[in-house]
Amino acid sequence: MSQRDWGNGGYYQVGTSNTWVAWLSFPTPDGGHKRRVKKITEPNKKRAKIRCETELKHLQRLRDEGIQPASGDWTVETWIRHWIDTIVKTTRSPGTVDTYTQRLGARIAPALGRIRLAELTAEDIDRWITQMVQDGLASSTIKSHLTVLRGALDVAAKRGHVEARIIQGIAAPRQARGTIRKLPLTLEQADAVLDYAWDAHPALAVAWTLGLWAGFREGEIAGLRWTDVTPPTVKIRGQIRRYTWEHGCGEFTNGRWPCCRRRGASCPRRYRFLPPDYDAVHIRGGLWWAPTKTVNSNRDLPMSVKVQEALVRWWPIQRQLWDDPTWVVTDPKGQCAIPAKLNDWWKKDLAAVGIDPARRSLHAARGSFATFLLEAGVDQPTQVGLMGHSKYQTTELYITVRDEHMAEAMSKVDQLAKPPAQIGPPTTP
Ligand SMILES: [Zn+2]
């Protein structure tokens, strides 16, 4: 059956209101058909008819090209949810799905969510960005919100749900002056926080050692299993991630979920979609053990003396505390540690030894390791490999060139400039 056999559709006025509806039947995959509509608000009868004709032609063109018009009543929120739920979910990592969903809920939906997609204007977006700047959001945060909106609108424009020119004018605000860098710990500070942790809670001393002296990410610290510890190397194969539960009760329509609960975690039919090739293992609650971020993150690290000592010291202590230890680092109950909690404990430990925790998250321990590598004179390709990166540009972001290191470099230049030592006894004129 050809597309044309589905009829030419039509349009009508709703009662005596200003609302007009253009409609056309589309074939459905199951062999049936579904009527798709486009609503128009127009008080002038003549103009309404012209606009309906245009809408009808647009629908016919979509049908001829075999494109299903998504529901004509998309709002910004329902559209972005649909986009995340179908396109993002199948093309990006589960972590990205979570980030995008979080951005949608935090800033996009409250400001723009209820606007009909077809009625969204560039000025709505301008006002939204201005509001975020006024609320004092970092430009990097604003940019990450824009990434989500732009991504969703790009697809919407290709399908004719919004006009392409809306997206073209979106501009990210400039970067605030004085970029905020993470601060690495000095050798003395690293020793101080480790000494403190060994006395206070040895499991965390192991965690901090893995960060400071092997450059582990938070999730990698929590995800290290004893089976990964194979002297003389330690294998990094996965990380602990927290994935957000999704609603399994149906589609988000009219500003709510069928179960009437807001959070996916409270949905009676909650579930979590993970790609089939994703070897994630469910631990408990929202916690999963997931494969490392990239192929390069999958790495076998030679054990440094610091790491070796820490593991040797920790092993018998853990044996005394808990019976079945899968995880190297555990929370106070002997369970798999939650990365975000590790970060809280890390900051408390820093404060306990008089180090300001601002700009020194647990991720800064990884930055300290990168900085130590530079100060030890390790070459760039090896730095990249040990950090689990694919290119030096990423490693560079973790490295801080400290004043002491620059002074040392300058003294090397001085050495070079020194006159050569005289050979043999001084000659007398
Ligand atoms: Zn639900």
412: left (phi over 0), alpha (psi -120 to 50) or beta: alpha
* 79, amino acid identity: W
pLDDT (average), residues 230-239: 93
* Percent of the chain whose pLDDT exceeds 70: 92
Is residue 309 within 8 Å of 244, Cβ to Cβ? no
User: How far is 371 from 185, CA to CA, in rounded Å?
Assistant: 9
pLDDT of residue 4: 46
Tell me the CA–centroid distance for residue 361 and ligand 1, in Å: 35
Three-state DSSP class for residue 326: coil
Domain residue limits at 201: 183-233+304-417
Mean pLDDT computed over every residue of the chain? 87
37-46, 84-93, 107-116, 152-161, range with the lowest pLDDT: 37-46
Total tally of structural domains belonging to the chain: 3
Of 168, 195, 219, which marks where a domain is finished? 168
User: How far is 374 from 399, CA to CA, in rounded Å?
Assistant: 8
Three-state DSSP class for residue 165: helix
Q: In which band, very low, low, confident or very high, does the pLDDT at 1 lie, cut at 50, 70 and 90?
A: very low
Tell me the CA–centroid distance for residue 271 and ligand 1, in Å: 10
Residue 393 counted as domain residue: yes
CATH number, position 192: 1.10.443.10
Q: Give tens-digit pLDDT for 281-325.
A: 899 888 999 887 677 788 999 999 999 999 999 999 998 888 777
Which among 386, 274, 279, 281 has a CA at the least distance from the CA of 326? 281
Residue 409 counted as domain residue: yes
Range list of β-strands (E), 90-203 = none
Residue 375 burial (CB < 10 Å; 0-12/13-18/19+)?
middle
Tell me the CA–centroid distance for residue 124 and ligand 1, in Å: 30
User: How far is 256 from 249, CA to CA, in rounded Å?
Assistant: 11
CA distances from 262 to 84, 105, 140, 251, 347 (A): 17, 10, 27, 13, 32
Tell me the CA–centroid distance for residue 134 and ligand 1, in Å: 34
User: How far is 402 from 150, CA to CA, in rounded Å?
Assistant: 39
CA distances from 270 to 182, 244, 257, 260 (A): 37, 10, 12, 13
89 with 59, same domain?
Answer: no
Tell me the CA–centroid distance for residue 255 and ligand 1, in Å: 12
Tell me the CA–centroid distance for residue 142 and ligand 1, in Å: 29
88 with 111, same domain?
Answer: yes
Residues bordering ligand 1, an ion, CB closer than 5 Å: 247, 249, 257, 259, 267
308 with 369, same domain?
Answer: yes
Three-state DSSP class for residue 377: coil
Tell me the CA–centroid distance for residue 371 and ligand 1, in Å: 47
Of 142, 168, 194, which marks where a domain is finished? 168
52 with 111, same domain?
Answer: no
Three-state DSSP class for residue 26: strand
Assessment of whether the complete model's pTM goes beyond 0.85: no
398 with 321, same domain?
Answer: yes
Model confidence at 69: pLDDT above 80: no
User: How far is 226 from 326, CA to CA, in rounded Å?
Assistant: 6
CA distances from 306 to 17, 198, 216 (A): 77, 13, 14
109 with 209, same domain?
Answer: no
Q: Does residue 121 or residue 350 have the better pLDDT?
A: 350
Three-state DSSP class for residue 218: helix
User: How far is 85 from 320, CA to CA, in rounded Å?
Assistant: 46
Model confidence at 20: pLDDT above 80: yes
Tell me the CA–centroid distance for residue 165 and ligand 1, in Å: 35
Tell me the CA–centroid distance for residue 226 and ligand 1, in Å: 38
